[in-house]
Every structure is written in structure tokens, then in C-alpha cells.
Structure 1
């Protein structure tokens, strides 16, 4: 049966009171409901067009009439609902400014996203950006999800999402990080500085700093109060390039910054300028704490004099201000902290000039001294601050030897700090310094030091260093029952991202050449099985890096 034409159904869809009588009847039952009312009153009246139909049903069949009426009313109300309309239409995404990458690159990137290859994706994305291309639409969801879970990856993705990616991010609150647009690369430097994302602004400021340092400093000063502490710290480092006395007033202002890290970095930059009052006073205080006593028949002796303390601070308040330029030490501190703060900021070559000895003689004078470890660590930090390349090789020899001693003694308390300090020193070292260390270890057949060096060496290794490593890992496979199994195994995960691209073909070639040898070992020794499997997994990763180099 059809409902009467022209029935205004939409006017009743919100009147849920029409169901009250039906609900009451369903609860107490049709028999009791009819006993309480006359037959006419018991007739269910919904106030809709359904009543025209239900009145034609046999009143004697109460249950059947009730169920048909309830069902018809439910359908009537659903049919009468109007589709909701958006008050504002969805805006279309702007037209794209960059072309999408080709299908081959799309396939490779999809593979990297699905594998969560966060160690390879930054390189692939950087190469795609260099080609002035963007991600295709069918990768946007994967990219936005990956950038949400990995903030560093998200920063790399911003330039590659295209207009559609930024538009899509409006409709998912988890993707709000992608709402930030990169400024047009063809815009003026000042426009990019004002409107670009943070990485763009850093790049522009660094370029300006190289050519117009005063203008770069003026831009930085104008925007300083609007930047977050983490950003201020990164921006401050741009002054390191071309640092001069002209930067001193700005740096002195930042000694009162609300961020302790910014204050500390400002003080470090100040003392790298030997003409500043801060650097000269600090050097004077450091000279009071460190002296050298030469000996005729053997190496000299380093003499340490710690400051006199009173109530948790040095007794001389002016001395405190001269040493703790950034105000980083609190009211309760130890004399050793003040000693470390001063010595770690003095150029290492100052001690050579003052004591008329070279770095090797200074290190020899500390051998077995109670202050040996403390003082050499401070000199290492100072060598990094002042870029003292002449000290790199002697300091690295000492640190590598010290780490091996700590490993054997299982000195776990200091080990991680020492590892990090050695990594930083290796990261600043010249390639020739690294190659010299490798040559010395190979000559002595010191595999402990070789594996330790490869496990700590950061960044992309030089081709000569990569070649030494490749030779070593295949040489190891043929040396059964090698006691350095664990040490060599841990380097593979690090090496798969560190080997130089020029050596990709070499390691793949070596793998093919050793296929038969590997097959022989795979049935003999558990450790060799594990090593060969790990090495092959490393090479599989390198093949993926090779694809990135070739396809993007």
C-alpha cells in the first residue's frame, strides 16, 4: 500500500512523542492496553499518514495491527528525513606548482614508507626535493601518517606534499603539522625569512651570514623574542660562521636569556673570541688552577689547584662571575664543577704556549695522575669548541684506549658519556686523522680498536675508510672462531648507513665472490651462520641505498 500523496512527511520526523503510545503498548501488552481503554480509544494514533493505513487493519488482531503500525511508522520516519547539508562547501585544493615523481620512484618510495625505513627515507626525500618534484597523490596518506609518527621525517616531507597534501591535512587534526607551507623558493631572501618554514629560514640566514653578517644579525635580533627556546638555540649557531667582535653586544644580551641552553651557547661563542673581556678573564682564572712542572729525566707533572669554596660556591664572588659567564652553576656546587667549566672553555693550544710543551708531552705528564681522565675530557671539549685540529689525533688515541680499558673492566657508569665524547671527536676529525688511526690499528693487528672505531665513526665514511671496512668484514668470515665475533657483528647495522656510495659496487661484488665460502660455513658453525646472515642483511640494505642513488 502507498502513503497518501502530498503528506507532509518531513514535518513529523522529529516528533518522537508519536512513539510514546507504541512504547507503552509494547511494555504492558496489547491485551492489557485494550482492557484499559475502549476499542476506539485503543486504536493507535500516530498523527501521521500511517494512521490512514492502520485504520484499515482488523482491530481484532491486536498484535498484528500493533506490529504493522510500528513497522510502518519506523519506515515513514526514515523516509521523511532530509539529507544534511554543509553550511560551507569544501574548497578545492589549489593547483600544483611542482610535477609528481615518476612511477618508478613512486614504487620505491612506497616500499620505503611501508618498511618504515626511517634511516633511508630522509636521503630519498632530499634527493626528490633536489629534483624539484613532489609526492604523487597515491602516497600522500602514507606520507602524512609517517610524518605524524616521526617529527623529523615530517620536516623532510613538508616540501614534497604539494598543494594537495597541505589541503588534505586540514581535514585530520593529527596532520596539523603539515599545514605549514614552504615559502616559494624563488621568493626574495627576506620573504623566505619572514614566511618560510624553519629549515628554510635557517638556510637563508646562513647564506646571508656568509655575505652580509651585519644584516643577518639584524634579522636575528628583530625576530629573537618571537622564537621558541629550541629555535633560538639553533638560530644562535648561525653566528658561528664569521663570528667577530661586532657580534659581542648581541651575545652579551643573550647571557640573560630565559633558556639555560641559550645562555650557555652564548657564553661559549663569546670565549671563542680571544679579544673579549669574558675570554681574557676566564683564561686568567684558568691559569690560576692549572700549572706545569717540568722534570729533567722524565715527563713533567701537571699541578691542579681547585678554587676555595664557601657555602657551595667559590669564596670570591667576582671569581664566580668570571668563570660562570652564563650563570649555569647554582648556589650548591662542587669545586670540580668550576674547574671543569673553566678548563673546557680555554683553547687547548694556550697550554702548549704557556708551558712550552706539545700536546703529546702534556698527555704523558697526566699518565696515572688522579686528574688524568677529568682534564683530558675537558681538553677534548675545548678542542671541539675551538676547532683545534692539531689535538684530534692524540686525543682520539687516548679516548679509544680508555674505552677499551673501560670495556674490559665493565665500568658502565662512565662508559656511555665517554662513547658520546669520542663520537663527537670523531665527527670533527679530518679524514686523514681517521685513516691514520685505522692504519695504526691494522699494523698492530688490534681488532678490538678497529671494531670499536667502526662502531663509533659517525656520518658517511670516506671511500678509503669504507674500503678498509669491506675488506675487514669479508676477511673475518674466513677466520673461524674469531674472538671478536660480538664486536664485529654490532658494526654491521651501523655500517649499512655509513658506507660511501662509491663503494656500493665493491661490497656487492665481494658478496658474490664469497658466495661459495659462505655456503660452506653455513653448515658448520652457528656463529658463522649468524654472522653471514647479518652481513647479507646489511648488504641487502645497501642495495636499497644503491637504488635510491640510481632511481632518484
Structure 2
């Protein structure tokens, strides 16, 4: 048996074991190593004990056993000068973190806590860190409210290290994660490198991007979208010929956002002859659009970001049950319109955005023109066209629905593109009239509105909702619409409602007599959410106990 074990344990026992074995159990007065409990063994069993100890120690050595090492006691957490939340704030956080209630409000609440100059109480930091480890939204707002004790606690748990520890300069300069790491590791490293030296990180990415697998190209193009620069154009042009269709789509969408990109001019050369405007006598009256569909596709189109078959724009054209899928030429027209800045058309055709969209709606090619111009509006962040789309939605809703355009266009995203003041100016008066007149599909229109609603509109909707919930005739007729509206208010409007409207909701709905059981849960949820939101607001100004 070797006397030079490979591990630090059971090395201290080997010399003692060898001495007892060489001298003999009778001659040696040294005890047999206490590898196991020998309290009940008699002196006559020393030979048996020696053999068992030798066998046990040899097996432990072969298994690579390492003795437990006591972790060093960490230094105490440094004091934190930022005051924690008081008892009410602690109770609210416990409901979100421990009971799982209203967790969708947590990121916004943590931002408000930081803005109020407060932090999360020490006794809740472990719950907060555990939640942030699985919630990117919470992790993004964690640092300001965790305080010095939160950073101290995160450093003690490997699962929490990355939540509060920003990559050091040496970590970012180390290329090993980029060259050999998994895709998530490479994404994280690239984002950190971009924050420290955007030019160097972009140069590194552009050097490897054409040779990356398609999945990696898609992931890195998402990051590149946040740091576009003219020097990215040559590589993006190369990716227009990539094997992956999604990669080609992403590359084309990024290229057309670059100022002076040649792709825009190549697309415009194909697009300009396709649309012309016909005006009334003496140039007065409504305009009409005359559309010429693109010619047969060939491979040269691919270099301009136009796919032969592109299911991204495979909309349905026609009304009602007669709607049919678009043909390849119409899809290619949509592909071109979705990439080009929509303002090029208003300048070229000498029309306003409002008139252009109205003429498109009246055309037999409303689909794909309107959905693809909506895509282009979002891609190029064109607020003039977003406002024109919103006005079209307010005044032409039946026609849009008849042509399936209410589903093919992301109206909510277009609305969010507008400043809050513009949205209220455009929406308030038409929506008030619809609610007061109870026009067809008024509840559908309300579901499209951004929150929070103006106070006047909130008042009108609540009064209308209250009246219908207590009227058995309207309850029967508008049952589905009212259920959708009450659920929407409880889930989306209540978390963002103004304090003045919160009181209005409480007094209006609490005054209702017993209503249909279908609405009880929605109303209860709405009121409970409003009360909890009021507690969150109060906790921000509560004194620390």
C-alpha cells in the first residue's frame, strides 16, 4: 500500500496506520486511526480495526474524497446611508415577492422606490434577489434599490453574482467568452463591451458576423440594431445573401435605417414607377392611387432585400368570406413598401399622409399597402404617418374591419409612437362621442386606447359601464363586450390609473347593486388592484420605522 496518498485527507492517518502495522497491534501502544467509531470495540479487535481502517482509507483515497473546508466568515456588510422602506412598503413587497400577487407592478414600483431615495428593507433582499434571478425586468432596476447590503449579499451567492456586479474592464477585454462561450454568454459579453468601447466592439462583431451560424447572426443583429453606424453597411449588404431568410430580413431592415444607404436608393428605383396619383378636375377633390404590381422576380431582387416568397406579408385581400391570399406580385409590392421610409411617398406624390392612406384604403390594393406602410412607419419611427393611421382608425373603422385591416395592423404600437399630448388630442373627442352614443363596437375601440386614459374619458366609461351592469336588458345584449371591457380595466387601466380616477372607480363600482356573477371577479380584481396601487404610492412617503 502506497504511503503517498493523492489527497490531503486521509493523509494525516497514513503514517500512524503504517507505524501500527509495522510494529504490530500488540507491540504498538499507538491507537488505530479513528476512521470510524471504535468506542464499542474491545482491545482484542485491534487487528480487525486496523484492516478495516486501511481498507476504508484506501477506498476514500481512490474515490478522491476531500475533507470539508470551512468557508471563511464574510466580513460584515457595510452600513447603508439610504433609508429603507417602512412597514407598509415592506408589507407590499412581501405580497409581491412571497405571495406572488401583483408581480407585474414590481419593476415599476422599484423604479419609484429609487426615485424616492429609498431602498428595499434588508430582510427582503434574499427574496428580491431570488426573484430577479428569473426576471430580467426586475434585474434591470435592481441595483439602485438593493443598496450596499444587497451587493454584499449577491457576492456571497454564485447564482446572484451577475445581478449586481458589473463586468470589470479586464473581464470585458478578455476575449475568451466571445471566442469560446455559449451564445447567451457571447451576447452578454458583447453588450458589456459595447458599453465600454462601442467602436471596438462593433469592429469585432463585424469581422466575425458573416461567418457565424444563422442563429448567432440573428441574435447579434438584434444587438447591432441598437448601435447602427455607417460602417455596418458593407457587412449588412453581405448578409442580404445569407442562407437564413430571417437573417436577410433583419439585414434589410437595418440597412434601410442607415442614412444614405444605397439599398434605399435601389429599392426606390424599383418602387417609384409602381404608384401614381390621379387627381380630380383642376387638381381638386379626392385623389386615387393607381398601382402597378412588380414584374416577375429574379435573383437580383434578393440583393435588394425582396424575397421571392415572403410569408411575412402573406395577407388576405377582399372582404368577408371572399377574402383570398395575396399573390406573389402583391406580396413583393408589400415587401418594398415595408422597407422604404413612408415619407418618400408623400414627397414623391405631393400628397399628405392622411390623403395617401385614405386613397390606399379606397384602392383595390388596400392590402398589402396599408399593413406594409404601417410596418414601415414603425421601422422608421415616423410620427406623421402614425398620427395619420390613428385618424384613419378612428374614422374608418368599419371599412378597415371589412377588409381585415383591423387585424393586419398593430394599431396599439402605432399609437404608442405618438407623444402623449398628441394621442389625447386625437383620441379624446372621438372616443367620448362613441361612448356617449354607444356606437357599434365602441368597446373594441376602447381596448385599443393607450393607458392611462384622460380623466374625462375614464369618467364617461365608468358611468356607462355602471349603467349597463345594472340594466338587465343591456347586460344581456352587451354581455361579451362588457366582460372584455371590465377585464381590460382591471388588468391594464387600474395599474396606471390616476389617483383622482381611483376614487371615482371605487365610488362608482362600490355603489353598484349585485351584478351578474360573470363580472364579480373582474370588478373585485379591479378594486383590489386600485387599493394596492394606493398602498404602493403611500409607502413611498412613509417614515422608516
TM range (shorter): 0.5 to 0.7
- 2:233 maps to 251
TM-score, normalised relative to structure 2? 0.66
Cα distance in 2 for partners of 1:141, 1:265 equals 40
Q: In 2 relative to 1, CA 201–165 (structure 1 residues): closer, same or farther, beyond 3 Å?
A: farther
Q: Which has the higher contact order (CA 8 A, sep 6+)?
A: 2
- 2:537 maps to 549
The answer on 1:428 being equivalent to 2:414 is: no
Q: In 2 relative to 1, CA 510–47 (structure 1 residues): closer, same or farther, beyond 3 Å?
A: closer
- 2:294 maps to 307
Cα distance in 2 for partners of 1:497, 1:221 equals 47
Q: In 2 relative to 1, CA 504–194 (structure 1 residues): closer, same or farther, beyond 3 Å?
A: farther
- 1:491 maps to 488
* Counterpart pick for 2:226 among 212, 217, 238: 238
- 2:460 maps to 471
Note if contact 1:128-1:134 (Cα within 8 Å) is conserved in structure 2: yes
- 1:440 maps to 430
The answer on 1:143 being equivalent to 2:136 is: no
Note if contact 2:253-2:339 (Cα within 8 Å) is conserved in structure 1: yes
Offset, 1:343: 0.8
The answer on 1:285 being equivalent to 2:270 is: yes
Offset, 1:281: 1.5
SS of equivalent to 1:120: helix
Note if contact 2:114-2:145 (Cα within 8 Å) is conserved in structure 1: yes
Note if contact 2:248-2:305 (Cα within 8 Å) is conserved in structure 1: no
- 1:101 maps to 84
Note if contact 2:139-2:163 (Cα within 8 Å) is conserved in structure 1: no
Note if contact 2:151-2:165 (Cα within 8 Å) is conserved in structure 1: no
Deviations 1:290-326 (A, max 9, x none): 23333449644323333333xxxx13x434323449x
Offset, 1:166: 1.5
- 1:382 maps to 376
Note if contact 1:233-1:265 (Cα within 8 Å) is conserved in structure 2: yes
Q: In 2 relative to 1, CA 180–433 (structure 1 residues): closer, same or farther, beyond 3 Å?
A: closer
* Counterpart pick for 2:260 among 275, 286, 293: 275
1:158-169 to 2 correspondence within 5 Å? 160-161=145-146, 162-169=150-157
Cα distance in 2 for partners of 1:7, 1:416 equals 89
Cα distance in 2 for partners of 1:302, 1:510 equals 48
Deviations 1:349-370 (A, max 9, x none): 3222322333333334334533
* Counterpart pick for 2:349 among 355, 375, 387: 355
The answer on 1:111 being equivalent to 2:101 is: no
Larger radius of gyration: 1
* Counterpart pick for 2:164 among 175, 181, 194: 181
Cα distance in 1 for partners of 2:113, 2:397 equals 40
Offset, 1:514: 5.8
Offset, 1:377: 0.9
Cα distance in 1 for partners of 2:207, 2:118 equals 35
SS of equivalent to 2:103: coil
1:325-474 to 2 correspondence within 5 Å? 334-399=328-393, 417-418=408-409, 421-435=410-424, 436-444=426-434, 445=437, 450-458=442-450, 460-461=451-452, 465-474=454-463
TM-score, normalised relative to structure 1? 0.65
The answer on 1:87 being equivalent to 2:69 is: yes
Cα distance in 2 for partners of 1:279, 1:422 equals 26
- 2:21 maps to none
Offset, 1:376: 0.7
SS of equivalent to 1:387: coil
Cα distance in 1 for partners of 2:33, 2:456 equals 80
Offset, 1:383: 1.9
Offset, 1:538: 1.5
Offset, 1:473: 1.5
- 2:300 maps to 318
SS of equivalent to 2:164: coil
What CA RMSD, in Å, does the superposition of the two structures yield over aligned residues? 4.7
Cα distance in 2 for partners of 1:373, 1:400 equals 19
Q: In 2 relative to 1, CA 470–301 (structure 1 residues): closer, same or farther, beyond 3 Å?
A: same
Q: In 2 relative to 1, CA 85–322 (structure 1 residues): closer, same or farther, beyond 3 Å?
A: closer
Offset, 1:425: 0.5
- 2:502 maps to 507
- 2:63 maps to none
Offset, 1:285: 1.0
Cα distance in 2 for partners of 1:335, 1:129 equals 54
Q: In 2 relative to 1, CA 353–155 (structure 1 residues): closer, same or farther, beyond 3 Å?
A: closer
